[in-house]
């Protein structure tokens, strides 16, 4: 339990993804089976205990601790599990008993009657140290919250075991905790577990951005084109009665989208774009955002933001894996399948016919629909392979919009950037009650070089007018030309507008702040 | 003894203990800047504390300085005064005042945990015990310090190419952490922010072994890769830290026990190492000194007052102002 608790602690404070991967790798390398397998299951929430309610935990500690002292402590710490873990009075008589391993805790809990759980917990608490008590309480109340997604854990396993993460995805669904065959394979002691996948996730095929110089070498006749829709890439898996909706990284998001899974009465694996579609029209990305990052969904959300999938590809039909076929053949199979099954809340992403690159370029330039991010080019003969191979698929995004804005606030970054003001909030001018005023329209933290960051940081420090913790307000004096993919109406922002993918395009050291753009300019860029 | 705007005043002796303003006659418990203020005319303290005050305050360390060893007694006015070790930092002392047959002990800042850099705390039975309560909540229980050092060494093993920069208070925490690292077997050079060097030299002058220390400020960037660097807490996330390659930012403080505190400070590796008594030590010390009356000077007083009363001790909070959390 101690090693698991130390891992949880380290993960909670580690801001960087690579750092988390290293910590996980170190843990897998040094902790034996089945302990590490249970830890993996707990981190990825494959294993979730909801045996203990917060009220029961609170009662447990109040049997031991003066309620006044507990009250002051809870006020100070702010988190129930943490307060209980820290305040728990150890019984000296039991301090010598061996603390349980994570394996012992998991196996005992799985076998225990619900009514016996709190007594078990009390016994364990007496033999664990504070950080292990914290890990135990978080585990039994079902809320580890250490910022480790299933995909991140798999990436860490892949890095440690020196295999491709997609190879882990292929076999993941057939595995159960504590994953001994998986670890045996990653340590080179056994063959890879078979990829008997059922309703598992198949790693997605991704596209490379198309550069202008790429085009000269490509023959338009080898490629087919379709729109790149502005939603979330998903995989629909319906096998043997199981229905799953996976994000592009393989996280299972099915519970949040019953309005899609309800209509998956078929046997197939499909690739598509998740969108919000009302009366046949695709809603702005902002609407889809209301549905994302939720574990469940309310009836009201289902009605206001109805989900929809625009299909791109078919990977498996019935029992047949189609991934080895060329794109054209798969597309024919997809069209035939769609005509036959006619699933509700889904349609086909149409192919675009074109004679040459110039025609396609004109089509791309003319696409003003908000839901279109650009174009996709797919080689006619391309098999569906995991990852981002160079050549078969390209994405060709619509040209970015730009706007001259004024820097308003800067915030310190994290990790390598912790000593730099590197997150920039910028605004544009509008008519205010007392004349011209700046209104924030977005935030950007990339798009500049390291050398430019040093300059920006110096500028922020020299022009600070107010400080709010890690944030500095600066005098209006620096113009940032920001680039963004599109802009939408939003009630969540003071300006009433929200940008997609804003980044710093150029730092306009030369331009006086009063000459920056005004809000109506941005409003005219709203589409859809 | 009573509380004045200047601080705690011992009337029959005519002196203040750790006054926050310049006074005629002061007894100073230890060298942290919130206890050892400049400009007193006469200062009584241990030799260690006086040396620290001279280094930090120069001329402000007091016109007349008088050193008193642990256990030695002197008369001041109608009182007898002794200094007893407090175990907080080098030179730190409790003030034992006897007058008219009763004894008052003012703890200053103290801890009970073992520390190679200073003389261990000595409980002195008394009639009134005046105690600090920096960590006066039962959630503050410091884990074993060597375990925290192991945490740091483990992180250095997992991220061998990154520098590890630990935020430490210049006086006390810095030297204690170095001796803990040496005790744990870490024998590579330790790099110091310039602000930490003078106090380390002073500790060495008092016989504290610190091993090889190098200035971080002039070290080549390449040399600091994978190195251990100590710096004042404020410097770890500021421009000074840019000389370090992708540093892991750690902080050694009792406040690191509470996650939210550690997160607010942007700490990646919190190390719970404190020079103050934790809750269990505060409570144990009340038992050890056996005083029927307890005054709590600063910190989270209400919980300790509540605890003392529940054990039949007369207790009250003095709510002294001007004591920050330096050296916590």
Each residue's pLDDT tens digit, A331-366 = 999 999 999 999 999 999 999 999 889 899 888 887
| Distance of residue A419 Cα from the nearest chain B Cα, in angstroms | 5
- For range B269-287, the mean pLDDT: 96
Average pLDDT over residues A297-302: 92
Contact B266 A65 (CB under 8 A): no
In angstroms, the CA B31 to CA B46 distance is 10
Q: Which residues of B touch A143 (CB under 8 A)?
A: none
Q: How many CB atoms lie within 10 A of CB B58?
A: 9
Nearest CA in chain A to B245: A416
For the ranges A95-99, A294-298, A363-367, the maximum mean pLDDT occurs at: A294-298
Contact flag B239-A12 (C-beta cutoff 8 Å): no
- What is the rounded CA–CA span in Å between residue A19 and residue A416? 12
Q: Write down the mean pLDDT value for chain A.
A: 90
Asked if B216 and B229 touch (Cβ cutoff 8 Å), the reply is: yes
Looking at chain B, the whole-number percentage of residues with pLDDT higher than 90 is: 81
pLDDT of A51 over the 90 cut: no
Q: Hey, is the C-beta of B243 within 8 angstroms of any chain A C-beta?
A: no
Confidence band, pLDDT 50/70/90 cuts, at residue A368: low
Residue with tokens 């706007």: A403
On the 0-12 / 13-18 / 19+ scale of CB atoms within 10 A, B256 is: buried
- Euclidean distance between CA atoms B53 and B37, whole angstroms: 9
Residues of B in contact with A13 (CB under 8 A): 262-263, 267-270
**Mean pLDDT, rounded, of chain B:** 92
Q: Which two tokens stand for residue A230?
A: 């502005």
Rounded Cα gap, residues A501 and A79, in angstroms = 35
Is there a contact between B259 and A73 if contact means CB atoms under 8 Å apart?
no
In sequence order, what are the beta bridge partners of B16?
B9, B26
Active-site residue, A511 included: no
Q: What pLDDT is recorded for position A199?
A: 81
**Site of tokens 């007349």:** B64
pTM as predicted: 0.76
Given the structure tokens 């740091």, which residue do they identify? B152
- B160 shares contact with chain A (CB less than 8 Å): no
Catalytic residue (choose from A154, A228, A397, A511): A228
Record: contact B266-A414, CB cut-off 8 A: yes
The string of DSSP codes covering A373-431 is EEEEEEETT----SB--TTTEEEEEPPPEEEEEEEEEEEE-SGGGTTSEEEEEEEEEEE
- B-interface mutation test, from A6, A11, A13, A99, most B Cβ less than 10 A away: A13
C-beta of residue A457 within 8 angstroms of C-beta of residue A418: no
How far is A163 from A476, CA to CA, in rounded Å?
Answer: 51
> Residue A72 is nearest to which of B141, B241, B303, comparing CB atoms?
B303
Please report the pLDDT score of residue B326 as a whole number. 44
Mean pLDDT of B117-143: 96
Interchain pair A6, B238: CB under 8 A: no
Chain A residues within 8 angstroms (CB to CB) of chain B = 6, 10, 12-15, 19, 22-23, 26, 65-66, 68-70, 72-73, 76-79, 82-83, 86-87, 89, 129-131, 412, 414-416, 418-419, 470
Indicate if the pLDDT at residue A482 is higher than 80: yes
Nearest CB to B137; choose among A22, A26, A76 = A76
From chain B residues 36-65, the ones with a CB under 8 A of any chain A CB are: none
- What's the DSSP call for residue A297? -
DSSP 3-state of A444: strand
Residues of A in contact with B163 (CB under 8 A): none
Range with the poorest average pLDDT among A49-58, A298-307, B182-191, B251-260: A49-58
Chain B residues with beta carbon closer than 8 angstroms to that of A77: 139, 258, 260
Which of B270, B319, B326, B287 shows the shortest CA–CA distance to B92? B326
Under an 8 A CB cutoff, do A10 and B139 touch? no
Closest to A233 in 3D by CA, of A245, A252, A248:
A248
Please report the ipTM that was assigned to this predicted complex: 0.90
Is the CB of B262 inside 8 Å of chain A's CB atoms? yes
What are the angstrom distances between the C-alpha of A169 and each of A387, B11, B52? Answer: 11, 77, 61
CA distance, residue B170 to nearest chain A CA (Å): 21
pLDDT tens per residue, range A185-231: 999 999 988 765 678 888 899 998 887 778 888 999 999 999 999 89
**Strand, helix or coil at A436?**
strand
Answer whether A76 sits within 8 Å of B310, measured CB to CB.
no
Top residue of A9, A16, A18, A73 to mutate, by most chain B CBs within 10 Å, is A73
CA distance A56 to A115: 11
Residue-by-residue DSSP string for B12-46: GGTEEES-SS--SEEE----STTTS-S--SEEEE-
Q: A122: which 2 tokens?
A: 């009390």
Tens of pLDDT, residue by residue over A4-18, are 999 999 998 888 899
User: How many Cβ pairs closer than 8 A exist between chain A and B?
Assistant: 81
- Tell if the CB–CB gap between B141 and A130 is shorter than 8 Å: yes
């Amino acid at each position: 339990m101690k090693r698991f608790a130390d891992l949880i602690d380290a993960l909670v404070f580690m801001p960087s993804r690579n750092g988390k991967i290293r910590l996980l790798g170190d843990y897998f390398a040094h902790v034996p089976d089945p302990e590490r397998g249970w830890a993996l299951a707990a981190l990825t929430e494959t294993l979730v205990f909801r045996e203990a309610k917060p009220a029961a935990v609170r009662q447990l500690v109040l049997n031991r601790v003066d309620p006044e002292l507990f009250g002051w402590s809870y006020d100070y710490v702010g988190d129930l599990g943490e307060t209980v873990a820290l305040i728990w009075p150890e019984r000296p008589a039991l301090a010598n008993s061996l603390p349980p391993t994570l394996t012992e805790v998991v196996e005992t809990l799985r076998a225990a009657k619900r009514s016996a759980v709190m007594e078990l917990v009390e016994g364990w608490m007496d033999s664990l140290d504070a950080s292990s008590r914290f890990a135990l309480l978080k585990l039994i109340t079902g809320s580890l919250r250490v910022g480790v997604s299933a995909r991140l854990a798999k990436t860490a396993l892949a890095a440690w075991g020196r295999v491709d993460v997609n190879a882990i995805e292929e076999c993941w669904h057939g595995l159960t905790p504590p994953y001994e065959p998986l670890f045996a394979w990653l340590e080179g002691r056994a063959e890879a577990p078979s990829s008997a996948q059922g309703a598992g996730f198949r790693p997605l095929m991704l596209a490379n951005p198309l550069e202008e110089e790429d085009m000269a070498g490509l023959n338009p006749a080898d490629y087919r084109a379709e729109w790149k829709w502005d939603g979330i890439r998903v995989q629909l898996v319906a096998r043997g009665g199981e229905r799953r909706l996976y994000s592009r990284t393989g996280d299972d998001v099915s519970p949040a989208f019953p309005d899609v899974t309800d209509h998956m009465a078929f046997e197939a694996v499909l690739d598509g774009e998740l969108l919000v579609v009302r009366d046949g029209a695709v809603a702005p990305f902002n609407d889809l955002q209301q549905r994302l990052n939720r574990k469940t969904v309310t009836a009201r959300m289902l009605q206001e933001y109805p989900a929809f999938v625009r299909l791109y590809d078919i990977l498996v039909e019935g029992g047949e894996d189609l991934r080895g076929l060329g794109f054209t053949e798969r597309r024919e199979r997809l069209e035939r399948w769609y005509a036959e099954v006619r699933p509700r809340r889904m349609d086909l992403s149409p192919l675009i016919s074109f004679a040459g690159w110039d025609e396609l370029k004109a089509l791309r330039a003319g696409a003003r629909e908000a839901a279109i991010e650009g174009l996709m080019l797919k080689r006619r003969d391309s098999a569906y392979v995991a990852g981002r191979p160079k050549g078969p698929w390209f994405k060709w995004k619509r040209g970015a919009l730009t706007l001259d804005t004024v820097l308003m606030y800067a915030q310190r970054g994290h990790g390598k950037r912790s000593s730099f003001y590197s997150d920039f909030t910028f605004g544009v001018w509008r008519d205010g009650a007392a004349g011209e005023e700046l209104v924030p329209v977005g935030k950007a933290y990339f798009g500049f070089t390291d050398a430019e960051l040093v300059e920006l940081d110096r500028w922020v420090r020299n022009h600070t007018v107010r400080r709010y913790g890690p944030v500095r307000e600066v005098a209006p004096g620096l113009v940032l030309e920001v680039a963004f993919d599109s802009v939408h109406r939003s009630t969540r922002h003071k300006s009433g507008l929200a940008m997609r993918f804003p980044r710093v395009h150029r730092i306009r050291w030369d331009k006086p702040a009063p000459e920056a753009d005004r809000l109506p300019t941005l409003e005219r860029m709203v589409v859809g | 003894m009573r509380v004045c705007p200047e601080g705690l005043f011992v009337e029959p002796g005519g002196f203040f203990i750790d006054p926050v303003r310049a006074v005629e006659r002061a007894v100073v418990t230890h060298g942290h800047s919130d206890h050892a203020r400049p400009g007193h005319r006469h200062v009584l303290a241990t030799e260690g504390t006086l040396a620290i005050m001279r280094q930090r305050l120069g001329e402000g360390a007091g016109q007349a300085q008088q050193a008193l060893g642990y256990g030695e007694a002197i008369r001041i006015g109608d009182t007898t005064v002794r200094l007893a070790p407090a175990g907080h930092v080098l030179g730190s002392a409790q003030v034992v005042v006897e007058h008219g047959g009763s004894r008052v002990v003012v703890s200053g800042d103290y801890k009970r945990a073992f520390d190679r850099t200073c003389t261990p705390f000595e409980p002195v039975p008394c009639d009134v015990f005046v105690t600090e309560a920096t960590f006066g909540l039962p959630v503050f229980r410091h884990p074993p310090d060597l375990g925290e050092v192991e945490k740091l060494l483990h992180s250095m093993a997992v991220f061998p190419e990154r520098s590890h920069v630990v935020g430490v208070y210049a006086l006390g925490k810095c030297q204690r952490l170095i001796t803990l690292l040496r005790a744990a077997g870490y024998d590579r050079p330790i790099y110091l922010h310039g602000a930490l060097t003078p106090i380390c030299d002073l500790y060495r002058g008092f016989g504290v072994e610190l091993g090889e220390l190098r200035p971080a400020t002039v070290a080549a960037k390449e040399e600091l890769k994978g190195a251990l660097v100590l710096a004042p807490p404020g410097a770890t996330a500021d421009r000074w830290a840019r000389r370090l390659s992708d540093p892991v930012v750690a902080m050694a403080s009792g406040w690191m026990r509470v996650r939210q505190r550690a997160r607010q400070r942007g700490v990646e590796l919190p190390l719970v190492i404190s020079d103050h008594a934790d809750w269990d030590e505060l409570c144990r010390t009340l038992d050890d000194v056996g005083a029927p009356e307890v005054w709590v000077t600063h910190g989270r007083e209400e919980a300790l007052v509540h605890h003392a009363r529940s054990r039949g001790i007369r207790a009250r909070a003095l709510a002294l102002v001007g004591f920050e959390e330096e050296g916590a």
